[in-house]
Structure 1
């Protein structure tokens, strides 16, 4: 396709090598465009915005070997190729000298990541897709789920065929899925993030592969009914460390840490967390090392969590998701998200 800011490979050839060598050959951010039976319509997928979340790229590499022929044009962006290939591969959210790309989709578009985000926006405006799905892995192990900034029947129909839960968030972080609110030409485009599960979970690649097949095979997205068992949760809270706080992960408290989270905190990404469950141990300042702000900026941490004999507990049954055991992600992004249950 002509007129896009980023490089384009149309109808990419089948690559039977390793994913790493395939990405190295691509060289950087690139659109892979599969021409469809109806090229008047386009559907778009972005993946690898985070270099340590490879399931979308892995699934795409395998799916392309099937020589698919989509019903419509399908444009797939491999974004942060440089971050993904930084040694050791698939371990860096972004390169040390750059910003988190999925926090750069709002002005000012500073640095290489900001410039890349602006180029992606310009390309999406030109593509004018009838849907946009951003594929990620969760920071910790857990089931797949979807996230959107608003409800839309097409987003819910697609998400409900790939996972059991859709989170509708009022938090705004500068992520790609917020673009319909900021870019007039994308205002009517159903958009959501698909969190496929943990990067090391084989099932995560199957979820991503299911997305590519679904978008390629479905003639008309508006005709897809929403599965009745899709659970929709609204207005999650980000539980974050306050500036300067130290977190570690272990099976016993660390005396020098502000917070010691249970070593397998990501087990709470499934089901409902009971107030009886110990999530970790608090340091001498107790809950003061944490905050949980809603979309209006109000800190609601103490409505949801409490300290009991130096341990961190939920005040009420909660749904946790995106709980990570990676201390770097916990410091630079967040500990987990939470929604009250019931």
Structure 2
């Protein structure tokens, strides 16, 4: 007897939330919250010698505290640029103020995801929300950056990676950083543009990298952020001798993959057929990996890389990105 798509949904795995233990302290951003450029949460330092402007962004999601821990330590220990300008951004202050280690997933945002709001047409419109107003306030800072390193962590199991949008120069920088060793070029989310997708990072050689450094609230994620950020600082010629940052590491250039399909959940019944994690490679094209209501989700090519699959995904949100390695 033949099986229908509905039959396939029987016995699908039910994915429990991963470990939600918060094994990092809540960062104290109070000394830098007022900022020093007239915008709360923006702290910038310039060297006498000209050079690039590196923007290190944290707390775009209010519960992703690892980046803020790195930024506050570097500020506290006096990390300054040897040349150019180094700016630290504590982005979603309102959401961070709601962070509770006892319920750490609840403060990702207040009204809406801040990392879907960077399209110029949305920012120029009349719609209002806590996050939209904050993004509008931060636009002058973003428009001045030559390099953006946007620090994030992940809820669902995945190998660390850089997301580089569509920019070739951003992918090249991520590859040179080499840690984590994977750089993914993609077109973003159907729900809206990320900070790295803002048009600034396709102009005048400006580059935007989003680092997904590892699981939320874990020491290894903070360590990965620091190694990567220190590598970026050195590659830009901005690290002072003896700066209190992670030691340089000898790593091979990273591997680049390009997203060939972004799978957006069309129904509330999206479900993977088994327990995948980000970084899994599906060897054969046309392999059935998920069901979206009655629609089958299959790999479009051999050696298909799964980028950050989300076992629990709402309709209209990204469920997984499917990518092909380049070279």
Q: Same fold (TM over 0.5)?
A: yes
Q: What does 1:263-302 align with in structure 2 at a 5 Å threshold?
A: 264-266=275-277, 269-274=278-283, 282=291, 285-287=293-295, 301-302=297-298
The corresponding residue for 1:311 is none
The corresponding residue for 1:91 is 105
Q: Does 1:43 align with 2:50?
A: no
Q: Using the TM superposition, name which of 21-30 and 86-95 deviates more.
A: 21-30
The corresponding residue for 1:333 is 317
Q: Does 1:241 align with 2:260?
A: no
Q: What does 1:2-13 align with in structure 2 at a 5 Å threshold?
A: none
SS at match of 2:211: strand
CA distance in 2 between partners of 1:63 and 1:158 (Å): 24
The corresponding residue for 1:52 is 63
CA distance in 2 between partners of 1:40 and 1:156 (Å): 16
Runs of at least 5 residues in structure 2 that lack an aligned partner in the other structure: 1-24, 239-249
Q: State whether residues 156 and 309 of structure 2, in contact with CA within 8 Å, keep that contact through their aligned partners in structure 1.
A: yes
Match of 1:319 among 276, 300, 305: 305
Q: Using the TM superposition, name which of 193-202 and 82-91 deviates more.
A: 82-91
CA distance in 1 between partners of 2:314 and 2:74 (Å): 33
Aligned residues: 277
CA distance in 1 between partners of 2:26 and 2:107 (Å): 18
When normalised by structure 2's length, the TM-score is: 0.70
CA distance in 1 between partners of 2:316 and 2:323 (Å): 21
Could you say what the CA RMSD is over the residues aligned between the two structures, in angstroms? 3.7
Match of 2:219 among 171, 177, 202: 202
Deviation at 1:205, TM superposition (A): 0.9
SS at match of 1:237: strand
CA distance in 1 between partners of 2:107 and 2:264 (Å): 18
When normalised by structure 1's length, the TM-score is: 0.67
Deviation at 1:209, TM superposition (A): 1.2
Runs of at least 5 residues in structure 1 that lack an aligned partner in the other structure: 1-17, 248-258, 289-300, 305-314
Considering Cα pairs closer than 8 Å and 6+ residues apart, tell me whether 1 or 2 has the greater RCO.
2
Q: Taking structure 1 as reference, are residues 123 and 203 closer, same or farther at Cα in structure 2, changes over 3 Å only?
A: same
Deviation at 1:80, TM superposition (A): 1.0
Q: Using the TM superposition, name which of 75-84 and 208-217 deviates more.
A: 208-217
The corresponding residue for 1:69 is 80
